[in-house]
Amino acid sequence: MVQKTASLAEPAVRRKPGSGRLLVFFGVFGLILAVAVTAGVLPRLHRGRALAAAEIEVEKKAPVVKATPARLAAAMDGVELPGDLVALVEAPIFARADGFVKRRLVDLGYTVKSGQLMAELETPELDQQITQTRATLSQSKSTLNEMQAALNLSRANLNLAKVTLDRWKRLTDAGIFSRQEGDEKEAALAVAEADTQRVEASLATARETVRANEANVRRLEELKQFASVTAPFDGIVTSRTTDIGSLINAGNGGPSKEMFRVAQIDVVRIFVNVPQSYVSLIHPGEMAELHVQELPGKVFSAEVTSIANALDPNSRAMLVICRVDNPRHLLYPGMYSQVKFPTPKATRALVIPGDALTLGKSGTRVAVVGPDHIVHFRTIAIGQDLGAELEVAAGLSAGELVVSNPTDAIRDGVAVELRSGSGQ
């Protein structure tokens, strides 16, 4: 009996097959995971400490900068500046009458003379208006003739009333007729005079109406002449935006559009913005040289015709206009050109690298490194932008070291270390 009880309890404490191997597996996996985490975290912590120490070391060191001395450019016998070529005279051509393009006689690039026909418009609405105003004029003239006849009749009645009154006065004074009858004839004369005055006023109104209608007819007939679009001056057609059948609106506002553009390029003008430092060297009447990249070796003589006599507050430059004869039409409006102005004596400009300039609320400044390697920011005036270099008009002396590409670490009063190859 005891042996049977023991055999029944034995399955309750027996372990499942393979459970020991599973525990061993998880134990080994946990050990490997701990080793991996320790191996990854410790080097990272070590690198973080090293990086923090390096940052502290860098902060303690003075910033390393590249400094370039401000230098005097080579002496110049003239100053060369960019300019924009424009036509001597250029005008857009708009229609003066509404209609459709019936004929187009010129195209882009055509040479036209003053008064030459460029296009013809078909103006059906304007033609109807002219017909209507002519009919109105004819009607007003007929009314004027009627008023003239009415005036003649009124004057005849007035004369009859005067003669009748004179006769009745003599007969009334002789006692043949009563005074009442004489008064009636005087009243009839007054009525005839008033009627004549009325007809004369109506006749004057009719004459004014005829004159107004005649003026309206003349206005529309003159407007009809604008159906022929002509060239305003001798020149070349540089633009054409309409073709046969296009709807044209009069004027240059609203939906209307430019039909043609004519430019006179036998003589062209050059607009040059001269920096403040060179303004005193350029005077009207002087000659300059014009160069165009597309025409190498070709030099055009340009005359300074006018100067704006005022500087642009944004660029500190003054507009100078030159004039160039262009009989062969080698120069075109819109070309980019270079204009060389002669100077009365050799001048040397102070130049610095273009990347040394900083812009901010304090204006245009550069970071200057003194002999003690201390940075001081200096406000300067720019003369001319030469691209990679800048001309300095004021605020800097030759030989002073300016920092190229100053970073946020470069502040006023900061000590810096000059990079090898700098100006010192």
Say if residue 12's pLDDT is above 50.
Answer: no
Residue 210: count other Cβ atoms within 10 Å of its Cβ.
Answer: 19
- Report the pLDDT value the prediction gives residue 71, as an integer from 0 to 100: 86
**CATH class, 79-87+264-344 region:** mainly beta
Q: What angle, rounded to 10 degrees, do the helices at 179-225 and 124-173 form?
A: 160
Assigned fold of 65-76+350-418:
2.40.420
The stretch 229-246 carries a mean pLDDT of 92
Q: Which of 77-81, 107-111, 347-351, 385-389 is most confident? A: 107-111
Q: What is the pTM of this model?
A: 0.54
Q: Name which of 346, 347, 351, 345 is nearest 398 in CA terms.
A: 351
The residue with tokens 């102005």 is: 341
Q: What topology is assigned to 95-121+228-248 in CATH?
A: OB fold (Dihydrolipoamide Acetyltransferase, E2P) (2.40.50)
Instruction: Check pLDDT > 70 for residue 9.
Output: no
Structural domain boundaries in the chain:
65-76+350-418, 79-87+264-344, 95-121+228-248, 125-225
In tens, the pLDDT along 161-200 reads 888 877 777 777 666 666 776 667 778 888 888 888 888 8
Question: Is the Cβ–Cβ distance between 382 and 346 less than 8 Å?
Answer: no
Output the average pLDDT for the chain: 82
* Nearest partner of 88 among 321, 296, 295, judged by Cα: 321
165, two tokens: 């009154």
Mean pLDDT of 57-62: 60
Please write the tens of the pLDDT for every residue from 20-37.
666 666 676 677 766 665
Q: CB–CB of 154/196 below 8 Å?
A: yes
| pLDDT exceeds cutoff 70 at 52 | no
Q: Give the model's confidence band at 2: pLDDT under 50 very low, under 70 low, under 90 confident, else very high.
A: very low
User: Looking at residue 1, what is its pLDDT?
Assistant: 40
Residue whose token pair is 């009989």: 327
